[in-house]
Amino acid sequence: MSFPLLTATAALPAIGAVATAAVPAARRTAAKWLALVFSLATLVLAGIALARFEPGGERYQLTESHAWIKDFGVRYELGVDGIGVVLMALTALLIPFVILAGWHDADPLETKSSRWRPTQGFFALILMVEAMVILSFEATDVFLFYILFEAMLIPMYFLIGGFGDRAHTGSDENAAAQRSYAAVKFLLYNLVGGLIMLAAVIGLYVVAGTFSLSEIAEARANGSLSMATSTERWLFLGFFFAFAVKAPLWPLHTWLPNAMGEATSPVAVLITAVVDKVGTFAMLRFCLQLFPEASKWATPVIVVLALISIVYGALLAVGQRDIKRLIAYASISHFGFIILGIFAMTSQGQSGATLYMVNHGISTAALMLVAGFLITRRGSRLIADYGGVQKVAPVLAGTFLIGGLATLSLPGLAPFVSEFLVLVGTFSAYPAAGVIATTGIVLAALYVLVLYQRTMTGPVKAEVQGMADLKVRELVVVLPLIALLLFLGVYPKPLTEIVNPAVQHTMSDVQKKDPQPEVEAAK
Does 449 or 463 have the greater pLDDT score?
449
Compute, in degrees rounded to 10, the torsion defined by CA atoms 190, 364, 371, 33.
Answer: 80
Cβ atoms of 230 and 293 within 8 Å: the answer is no
- Cα dihedral sign, 239-244-245-246: positive
Instruction: Return the DSSP state at 55.
Output: T
The dihedrals phi and psi of 321, each to the nearest 5 degrees, come to -105, -10
Confidence class for position 519, pLDDT limits 50, 70, 90: low
Q: Report the amino acid identity of residue 433.
A: A
Cis bond leading into 251, ω under 30°? yes
Angstrom distance (rounded) from CA 232 to CA 49: 34
Q: Is the pLDDT of residue 168 over 80?
A: no
pLDDT at 167: 63
Burial of 201 (0-12, 13-18, 19+ CB in 10 A): buried
Q: Which of these, 72, 87, 213, lies nearest to 140 by C-alpha position? A: 213
Question: In this predicted structure, what is the pLDDT of residue 475?
Answer: 94
Q: Is the pLDDT of residue 523 over 80?
A: no
Single-letter code of the amino acid located at 441: I
pLDDT of residue 418: 93
Reply yes or no: is the peptide bond before residue 248 cis, omega within 30 of 0.
yes
Whole-angstrom distance, CA of residue 90 vs CA of residue 73? 31
Assess whether pLDDT exceeds 50 at residue 1. Answer: no
Can you give the pLDDT at residue 97?
A: 95
Return the axis-axis angle of helices 414-429 and 323-343, rounded to nearest 10°.
40
8 Å CB contact between 388 and 464: yes
* H/E stretch holding 226: none
Average pLDDT over residues 513-522: 64
With b for 16 or more beta-carbon neighbours within 10 A and e for fewer, the 434-443 pattern comes to: bebbeebbeb
Give CA–CA dist 265/262, Å, rounded: 9
Flag whether pLDDT at 276 surpasses 70: yes
Mean residue pLDDT across the chain: 89
> Amino acid letter at 228?
A
The residue-averaged pLDDT of 115-139 equals: 89
Q: What number is the average pLDDT over the span 379-389?
A: 87
Give the C-alpha separation, 86 to 79, whole Å: 13
The whole-number pLDDT of residue 25 equals 80
Query: Tens digits of per-residue pLDDT, 190-223?
Result: 999 999 999 999 999 888 888 888 888 888 877 7
**pLDDT (average), residues 285-303:** 91
Sign of the torsion angle spanned by Cα atoms 298, 189, 243, 310: positive
**Per-residue pLDDT band at 111 (split at 50, 70, 90):** low
Does the pLDDT of residue 389 top 70, yes or no? Answer: yes
In this predicted structure, the answer to whether residue 521 has a pLDDT above a threshold of 60 is no
Confidence of residue 172 (pLDDT cuts 50, 70, 90): low
pLDDT average, residue stretch 304-314: 94
Calculate mean pLDDT across residues 63-74: 84
By the 8 A CB rule, do 285 and 83 touch? yes
Q: Using CA atoms, how far apart are residues 393 and 381, in angstroms rounded to an integer?
A: 17
Average pLDDT estimate for 456-474: 87
pLDDT over 90 at 78, yes or no: yes
Q: How far is 245 from 191, CA to CA, in rounded Å?
A: 10
Who's near 303: CB < 8 A, 6+ residues apart? 340, 343, 344, 430, 433
**Using 50, 70 and 90 to split pLDDT, how confident is the model at 106?**
confident
Count of all residues that appear for the chain in the document: 523
pLDDT digits (tens, 9 = 90+) for 44-63: 999 999 999 998 888 899 98
pLDDT of amino acid 312: 94
Integer Cα distance of 364 and 369 in angstroms: 8
Q: Which of 34-43, 213-222, 229-238 has the lowest mean pLDDT?
A: 213-222
Query: Averaged over 297-325, what is the pLDDT?
Result: 93
**Percent of the chain residues topping a pLDDT of 70:** 95
Residue 116 has pLDDT above 70, yes or no: no
The per-residue pLDDT for range 329-363, each reduced to its tens digit, is 999 999 999 999 999 889 899 999 999 999 999 99
User: Is the pLDDT confidence value at 171 over 60?
Assistant: no
Q: Distance between CA atoms of 494 and 90, rounded to whole angstroms?
A: 13
Give DSSP secondary structure letters for 405-461: HHHTT-TTSHHHHHHHHHHHHHHHH-HHHHHHHHHHHHHHHHHHHHHHHHHHSSSPP
Report d(CA 36, CA 21) in Å as an integer: 13
Of 521, 360, 398, 395, give the one whose Cα is nearest residue 470: 395
Query: DSSP string of 75-123?
Result: EEEEEE-HHHHHHHHHHHHHHHHHHHHTTTTTGGGGGT-SS--HHHHHH
pLDDT (tens digit, 9 = 90+) per residue, 422-450?
999 999 889 999 999 999 999 999 999 99
DSSP classification of residue 254? T
Residue 520 confidence class, pLDDT cut points 50, 70, 90: low
Contact between 257 and 325 (Cβ < 8 Å): yes
The tens digit of pLDDT for each residue in 486-511 reads 999 999 999 999 999 998 888 888 77
Radius of gyration, alpha carbons of the chain: 22
Nearest by Cα to 195 from 149, 252, 232: 149
Q: Which of 100-109, 301-310, 350-359, 371-380 has the lowest mean pLDDT?
A: 100-109
Examine the pLDDT at 243 and tell me if it is beyond 90: yes
The pLDDT, as a whole number, for residue 67 is 86
The Cα 477–Cα 2 span in angstroms is 35
Check whether 281 has a pLDDT greater than 50. yes
Secondary structure (3-state) at 74: strand
Over pLDDT 90: what percentage of the chain?
A: 60
